[in-house]
Amino acid sequence: MAKLSTKTPREIELMKESCRIVAEVLALIGRKIAPGVHTRELDEMAEEYIRSRGGVPAFKGYGHDKNNLFPGTLCVSIDDVVVHGIPNGQKTKEGQVVSVDVGVKKDGYYGDGARTFAIGRVSAEKLRLMRVTEESLYKGIAEARAGNHLHDVSAAVQKHVEAAGFAVVRDLVGHGIGRNLHEEPSVPNYGHAGTGVVLRERMTLAIEPMVNAGSERVTMEDDGWTVRTVDGMPSAHFEHTIVITAGEAEILTK
């Protein structure tokens, strides 16, 4: 297994600045998003804001295939799109749920966060999906403390989601974060408490439940990025970057 890094106090301070910009972007999106808004408009607004704060959009140009790098600042995932939706100019519509994921790099360190937004009036079941997904994130974060095991976090997320009758996506996971957007360890949203690596103070993680209203199964579209639910049911996504402490984890993207 790769060596799991902890961060110095100075590195955590640098991450806090990147994470602050992430939180500000998501707050900005929350004020702007409404029925009839172009996803590309949201994307341009986010990029302009990040650059105005001295940051760089972490997702833009990201990818392992140099012929298919991610084109947007934001991932904008509508209804049955779980993650990695491309902001291609679609307009948001009344009744949709839209998950927005954003990463920022500043001074060599990354922050990453996501929220799901209700567009206008949405169904009671979609609101419940959003609520349970966000609650599961905080259940996981409550277990993210020094001396606990990584899968204590995972099990807490899974238990809360499944008790509500929803499904955690198993093909996609959270991750370590710091000098790189994605670092070890992977942080699944399912697992057995008491297993996985032991968490240590000053480890930094991006915890991100992705929760489907129906089946856990997902499929990748031909664009190589967009991940949808197989059954066409809606999905929700919430994410925070945190730092492990001896007590409650500190949420850097709050």
Which class is domain 9-251? alpha beta
Q: What is the pLDDT of residues 119-143, one digit of tens each?
A: 999 999 999 999 999 999 999 999 9
Closest to 77 measured CA to CA, from 63, 69, 87, 62: 87
Distance of alpha carbon 231 from alpha carbon 25, whole angstroms: 31
Average pLDDT over residues 42-62: 98
Distance of alpha carbon 155 from alpha carbon 85, whole angstroms: 27
Provide the pLDDT confidence category of residue 1 given band limits of 50, 70 and 90. Answer: very low
Q: What is the pLDDT of residues 148-170, one digit of tens each?
A: 999 999 999 999 999 999 999 99
pTM attached to this predicted model? 0.97
In the three-class reduction of DSSP (H, G, I as helix; E, B as strand; rest coil), residue 122 is classed as coil
